[in-house]
Amino acid sequence: MNSLRDGVRRITGALPPWAFAAAAVVVVLVIPFTSPPRLVQLTIIFGINALLAQSINVLTGYAGQISLGQAAIYGTGAYGTAVMSVQYDWPLWASVPAGIVMAIIVGALVSIPAGRVHEFYLAMVTLGLGILAFTIFRQWGEVTGGFSGLGNIPSPPLGSLTVFGYTLGLVSYFYVTVVLVVVVTWLLANILKSHVGRSFVALQESELAASTLGVNPARRKRLAYVLSAALAGIAGVTYAHVVGFVSPDAFSVNASIAILVFAVLGGMRTLAGPFLGAALLTYLPDQLQAFSEWQHLIYGLILLFSFIVLPRGLAGLFPYRTSLIHHRVDRRRDEKAEPAEVQPAEQSRDGAAAAGVAEGDVLLEVRDVVMNFSGVRALDGVSISVRKGSIHGLIGPNGSGKTTLLNVVSGVYKPTSGQVSFGGVRADGRKPHQVATLGIGRTFQHPLVFDELTVRENVVVGAERLFRSRLVQLLFGTRAAVREERRMVRSAEAAIERVGLEELREALAGGLPFGRQRLLELARSLAGEPLLLMLDEPAAGLAEDDLVELASLLQTLRDGGMTVLLIEHHMDFLLRLVETVTVLDQGEVIFDGTPAAARSDERVLEAYLGASAAATGV
């Protein structure tokens, strides 16, 4: 099976990606001239199904949010335009936007519990939405037509679909649908290949890491639901006006499962996959009408075959990866011909306060911080001051509270008591993405890279807090948005070169060795241009040559004005770099001073070597 799949990939890989898209467009455009009306209408349904598959692709494939109620949003769009057209006699130009807006509102409402529940529980919430919507469609008879459905919707088969005095026939509606699908896909591609799309994937891979880089999890998830709902709403209004009739059965829970299957079978987290899955499951049933009693069995066998042979869906037959950096950003241009309209991003108001701290003054101040976990005191009145432009060491035995302190500073934990100030601004009690906007970056004790993103895509995510382009600019790929993206990508590439990973920039992060993942995390933090960089054991897993390069880099960063808070067990490495070292033991500060004094301090020796060894000078 693998050899067959690899053989197909070699064949498809011999052609450029645009060749398949061009062939598909040609086939679609000639259908009205070569096919009966039934096939023309079926191809419109294919376009609708492709939009539905893309709606799940955005929500589940990219953002990692499970939905078993997508048909509810699809049905809201369809019933919305149908009710406005039939019951209230609204014109098409008003009823269609109304249906889409209704779908978006439902999607936004569903996103509220999505911020509180995850995985299985989220699936149950969306399933409940699907059942609720289906019940409303069936029972609200005076509005929706109830069990019998709602007919006489303006449509080409009825000859009643009129736009500004022009009546659309089936062929005209076909081409409108083609243009609609192409434009919507283009807009969607612009979003997914921007920092928004990368943040969707980053949240799915590691919400903790993404949030400490400045990604707002709740806001991004809401946006994913709204984008998904907009796609489903567009599909709904298109469906209502091509068939001229809507009924509850078209939007049942089974329909939600079918929409999910379109995307899974085609291939998640690709732009082409939803089209492939929708094509197979739109045209195949039409050819299997004689076996209608066995359709579900056939679908099950197809899915089973896909999961075993094509775990990445039909898109896995093509050796192409959907990059999350737009090709316009990579396009080589004469930089002198482009005015530098996009300047380095301004700091937030609180971040500007930290940036204004003078060299040598206290930048980070932790005062009397206590952190309890179910009766266990991980930090007990910890106080520490880190001065701007310094490398400050934080050491201690395993379990002494070092990483816990970093988690408190970065907003992962809210301290039981005490306070954290950054540049004179209170930082404790803020969420991780809010702390990141102050200008605090960090790495983790165990690297949290985004496995399914390339090295370069990972590092560009690190610049999340610096992006200023609005959603509308990203949708339409304005010059300002592209220039900002290009500047961030160039900054990311510079960070990659600084850590020596330039030859691996297009490699997937999940396949990197442990030491390279550590360097990737460092580069990702540097891309965010932090004022304070907190490193949790960055030397672990590095070869001796890499340690020398890392030490040189940290000194360069310090000389450039960056402040570093460094946790490290490699004592020789750390003590050569730092000006001040703080030692923790059992959640308490036992020493704060110079590296030279730390080497001879009895409490430090006792913490590391034990009381008897310290007493004998071992």
16 pLDDT band, cuts 50/70/90, is confident
Mean per-residue pLDDT, 215-219? 94
Residue 509: strand, helix, or coil: helix
Give the pLDDT of residue 301. Answer: 81
Q: Within a domain: residue 322?
A: no
Rounded distance, CA 386 to CA 380, Å? Answer: 19
286 pLDDT band, cuts 50/70/90, is confident
Is the pLDDT reported for residue 65 higher than 80?
A: yes
**Does residue 464 share a domain with residue 430?**
no
Is the pLDDT reported for residue 588 higher than 70?
A: yes
Q: Which tokens hold the place of 360? A: 């040598």
Q: Within a domain: residue 9?
A: no
Give the pLDDT of residue 416. Answer: 95
pTM, full prediction: 0.90
Measure CA of the first residue to CA of the last residue in the chain; give whole Å.
63
Mean per-residue pLDDT, 398-414? 95
Helices 253-266 and 70-86 pack at an angle, to 10 degrees, of: 120
380, with CB counted inside 10 A (0-12, 13-18, 19+), is middle
Q: Which tokens hold the place of 67? A: 């939905």
Identify whether the C-beta of residue 67 lies closer than 8 Å to the C-beta of residue 228. Answer: yes
Rounded distance, CA 567 to CA 125, Å? Answer: 42
**Does residue 486 share a domain with residue 403?**
no
Write down the H helix ranges in 161-252.
170-192, 195-205, 207-212, 217-243
In this structure, what is the dihedral angle of CA atoms 498, 499, 501, 505, given to the nearest 10 degrees?
Answer: -60
Is the pLDDT reported for residue 334 higher than 60?
A: no
Average pLDDT of the chain is: 89
The residue behind tokens 């990604």 is 215
336 pLDDT band, cuts 50/70/90, is very low
For 258-284, how does the pLDDT look when each residue is reduced to its tens digit (9 = 90+)? 899 999 999 999 999 999 999 998 988
Q: Within a domain: residue 15?
A: no
- Indicate the residue among 495, 528, 561 that finishes a domain: 528
Order of strands across the sheet that contains 362-373: 376-387, 362-373, 417-422, 425-426
For 88-133, how does the pLDDT look when each residue is reduced to its tens digit (9 = 90+)? 999 999 999 999 999 999 999 988 887 777 777 888 888 999 999 9
Domain that holds residue 473: 450-528
Q: Within a domain: residue 325?
A: no
**Does residue 146 share a domain with residue 92?**
yes
For 134-151, how does the pLDDT look when each residue is reduced to its tens digit (9 = 90+)? 999 999 989 999 999 999
Is the pLDDT reported for residue 4 higher than 60?
A: no
Pick from 574, 510, 509, 565: nearest CA to 539: 574
Q: Within a domain: residue 146?
A: yes
342 pLDDT band, cuts 50/70/90, is very low
**Does residue 273 share a domain with residue 285?**
yes
**Does residue 103 share a domain with residue 225?**
yes
Give the pLDDT of residue 571. Answer: 87
**Does residue 411 share a domain with residue 475?**
no
Is the pLDDT reported for residue 56 higher than 60?
A: yes
% of the chain exceeding 90 in pLDDT:
69
**Does residue 490 share a domain with residue 544?**
no
3-state SS string over 89-122? Answer: CCCHHHHHHHHHHHHHHHHHHHHHHHCCCCHHHH
Cβ neighbours for 424, distance < 8 A, ≥ 6 positions apart: 353, 354, 357
Rounded distance, CA 11 to CA 547, Å? Answer: 45
Is the pLDDT reported for residue 208 higher than 80?
A: yes
Give the pLDDT of residue 358. Answer: 84
What is the count of structural domains for the chain? 3
Cβ neighbours for 551, distance < 8 A, ≥ 6 positions apart: 573, 576, 577
Residue 528: strand, helix, or coil: coil
Identify whether the C-beta of residue 366 lies closer than 8 Å to the C-beta of residue 374. Answer: no
349 pLDDT band, cuts 50/70/90, is low
**Does residue 201 share a domain with residue 73?**
yes
Mean per-residue pLDDT, 3-9? 62
**Does residue 295 share a domain with residue 234?**
yes
Question: Per-residue DSSP letters for 321-341?
Answer: ---SS-HHHHS---GGGS---
**Does residue 371 share a domain with residue 491?**
no
Is the pLDDT reported for residue 346 higher than 80?
A: no
For 368-389, how does the pLDDT look when each residue is reduced to its tens digit (9 = 90+)? 999 999 889 999 999 999 999 9
Q: Within a domain: residue 332?
A: no
In this structure, what is the dihedral angle of CA atoms 404, 406, 409, 410, given to the nearest 10 degrees?
Answer: -110
Is the pLDDT reported for residue 618 higher than 50?
A: no
- Indicate the residue among 528, 562, 593 that finishes a domain: 528
* CATH number for 398: 3.40.50.300
Q: Within a domain: residue 369?
A: yes
Write down the H helix ranges in 427-570.
432-438, 455-461, 471-476, 479-498, 514-527, 544-559
Identify whether the C-beta of residue 200 lies closer than 8 Å to the C-beta of residue 220. Answer: yes
Give the pLDDT of residue 229. Answer: 97
Pick from 513, 527, 461, 542: nearest CA to 209: 461
Is the pLDDT reported for residue 183 higher than 50?
A: yes
Q: Within a domain: residue 4?
A: no
Mean per-residue pLDDT, 339-354? 53
- Indicate the residue among 528, 563, 590 that finishes a domain: 528
Top pLDDT among 22 and 91 is at 91
352 pLDDT band, cuts 50/70/90, is low
* CATH number for 231: 1.10.3470
519 pLDDT band, cuts 50/70/90, is very high
Q: Which of 5-9, 38-42, 331-335, 584-588 has the lowest mean pLDDT?
A: 331-335
User: Residues 423-454, buried b or exposed e (16+ Cβ, 10 A)?
Assistant: bebebbebbbbbbbbbbbbbbbeebbbbebbb
CA 84 distance to own-chain centroid = 36
Rounded distance, CA 421 to CA 414, Å? Answer: 13
Cβ neighbours for 62, distance < 8 A, ≥ 6 positions apart: 192, 197, 200, 201, 204, 224, 269
Mean per-residue pLDDT, 71-87? 96
Q: Which tokens hold the place of 412? A: 């992962």
Pick from 393, 409, 408, 448: nearest CA to 567: 393
The residue behind tokens 């009895």 is 602
Region for 51 from its dihedrals, namely left if φ exceeds 0, alpha if ψ lies in -120 to 50, beta otherwise? alpha
Rounded distance, CA 411 to CA 44, Å? Answer: 49
**Does residue 429 share a domain with residue 494?**
no
How big is the chain, counted in residues?
618
Identify whether the C-beta of residue 118 lies closer than 8 Å to the C-beta of residue 213. Answer: no
Is the pLDDT reported for residue 160 higher than 90?
A: no
**Does residue 475 share a domain with residue 576?**
no
Give the pLDDT of residue 610. Answer: 61
Counting other chains too, the contacts that 493-498 makes at CB distance below 8 Å and 24 or more residues apart are 493/456, 493/459, 495/459, 495/462, 495/523, 495/524, 495/526, 495/527, 496/455, 496/456, 496/459, 496/523, 498/523, 498/526, 498/553
For 323-332, how does the pLDDT look when each residue is reduced to its tens digit (9 = 90+)? 999 888 876 4
